Structure 1
Amino acid sequence: MARPRKFDEGSAVEAAMRAFWGAGYEATSTQDLCEATGLGRSSIYNTFKNKHDLFGKSLRHYMDVHNAELFALLDADLPVMEKIRQVLWRAVEPDAADPIGCLVVNTAVELGPRDPEIAEMLRSDGERRLDALRAAIALGQSRGEIDRGKDPWALAHFVVATVGGLRVAARAGADSTALEAIATTALGAF
């Protein structure tokens, strides 16, 4: 008879997500995951098939949490330019408790080109965010808040690329002044 689990799987996934977010997939060892989650190797491998499985669950958790925040903001009763400003400023002034950068961006660079399963997760996640941004931008255009002559898909892609660039710049050591300048310049594109 199998022994019942004595830990919260969701908390373990959250802790693993933060470990992967801070160091990346390859650089996060099983020992790092044991230390981050407080679990032993056997508990990790009995619950999650392997490191890749735990990483996939961690990445999905990251996407779910961050997309929920993004979608809530884009659905808020605010002018679209305020929504876009807040999207950019979340990258300029991230939560100090979070690792620097973005797990999605880091994963796209590290695993996207060589891991089809992860690449599909990234592609699907990217489409959802682009669709939500494009819809918000198109609504702003219909309200006269954004020039109707601009392509909402191009603007949505631009926002996603700018946020990714801000996350990479922060990870590379850019200070808040530089990040604010990038975000302010991006707002000028609208």
Structure 2
Amino acid sequence: MARSKEFEENEVLDKAMRLFWEQGYEKTSMTDLVERMGIHRRSLYDTFGDKHMLFLKAMDRFGEKFNAELAAGVKRSKTAKEALQFIFGFMIDGHADSPPGCLMVNSAVELAVRDDVVDAKLTKVFTAAERQLKEIIIWGQRDGEFSTEHDAEELAEYLHNVWVGLRAMARMSVAKEKLHRIARTSMKHLEA
């Protein structure tokens, strides 16, 4: 008779996700993962596969959690400007207990150039982020908050680039006030 799992998958996956977020893929060893996740090595392999498969699942888990929080914040926004302000604030401040930066941005810098699977996953994630920004920009243009001088798709690409840059800079010892100033300046490019 097979033994039942003595752990909740998402709970231990969250621990792996956080470790990859803190240390990156290359620096994180299987021993680190086993210790942080609190499960046996065999259970890790049986449940999640090898380190690369676990990393991909951790990326998916990060995306699910991140997108849910982002969508909830945007949905609560009464205006497009408020939605973008929420997004930028979320990019810069994150959560008090979360590692700095972004697992996706960190992974793009570390792995995308040499890992086709990670690159494809990140391309899909970043395309979805640009689509979300485009929808918000169209909302703002329709309601007269944002200028219609520029194409919403081009503005979304620009803002996504700012978003990625802010997430990368958030990993450094850059003052948050500077990051907020960059976000405010970027928002000014949209104003009607």
TM-score bracket, normalised by the shorter chain, equals over 0.9
Consecutive unaligned residues in structure 2, runs of 5 or more: none
Q: SS of 2:94's equivalent?
A: coil
Quote the Cα distance in structure 1 between the aligned partners of 2:109 and 2:92.
20
State the distance in 1 between where 2:90 and 2:56 align.
24
Specify the alignment match of 2:153 in structure 1: 153
Matched, 1:188 2:188: yes
Contact 1:74 1:133 in 2 (8 A): no
Structure 1, residues 29-49: CA drift from partner, whole Å, max 9, x if none? 111111211112111112111
Question: Contact (CA 8 Å) 1:71, 1:132: kept in 2 or not?
Answer: no
Contact 1:59/1:103 (CA < 8 Å) preserved in 2?
Answer: yes
Q: Please, what TM-score do these two structures have when normalized by structure 2?
A: 0.93
Partner of 2:104: 104
Is the 8 Å Cα contact of residues 91 and 163 (structure 1) preserved in structure 2? yes
Code of the aligned partner of 2:153: W
Q: Displacement of 1:91 after TM fit? A: 2.0
- The match for 2:172 is 172
Q: Is the CA contact (8 Å cut-off) linking 1:141 and 1:148 kept in structure 2? A: yes
Match of 1:13?
Answer: 13
Measure the CA separation in 1 of the matches of 2:124 and 2:138: 21
Shift of 1:27: 0.5
Shift of 1:83: 0.8
Q: Within the alignment, does 1:114 sit opposite 2:114 as a pair?
A: yes
Q: Which amino acid aligns with 1:179?
A: L
Q: Deviations over 1:75-114 (max 9, x none)?
A: 3451111111111111222211000110000011111111
Aligned to 2:33: 33
Sequence identity of aligned pairs in percent? 35
Q: Find the aligned partners of 1:180 and 1:135 in 2 and give their Cα distance.
A: 22
Q: Which has the higher contact order (CA 8 A, sep 6+)?
A: 1
Structure 1, gaps ≥5 residues long? none
Q: Identify the residue that residue 53 of structure 2 maps to in structure 1.
A: 53
State the Cα distance separating 1:173 from its structure 2 match: 1.1
**What is the alpha-carbon distance in structure 1 between the residues aligned to residue 126 and residue 88 of structure 2?**
16
Q: Tell me by how many angstroms 1:2 deviates.
A: 2.5
Q: Find runs of 4+ consecutive structure 1 residues off by over 4 angstroms.
A: none
Question: C-alpha root-mean-square deviation of aligned residues, in Å?
Answer: 1.3
- Aligned twin of 1:128: 128
Aligned partners of 2:100 and 2:183: how far apart in 1? 17
TM-score, scaled to structure 1: 0.94
Tell me the distance in 2 between the aligned counterparts of 1:92 and 1:101.
Answer: 8
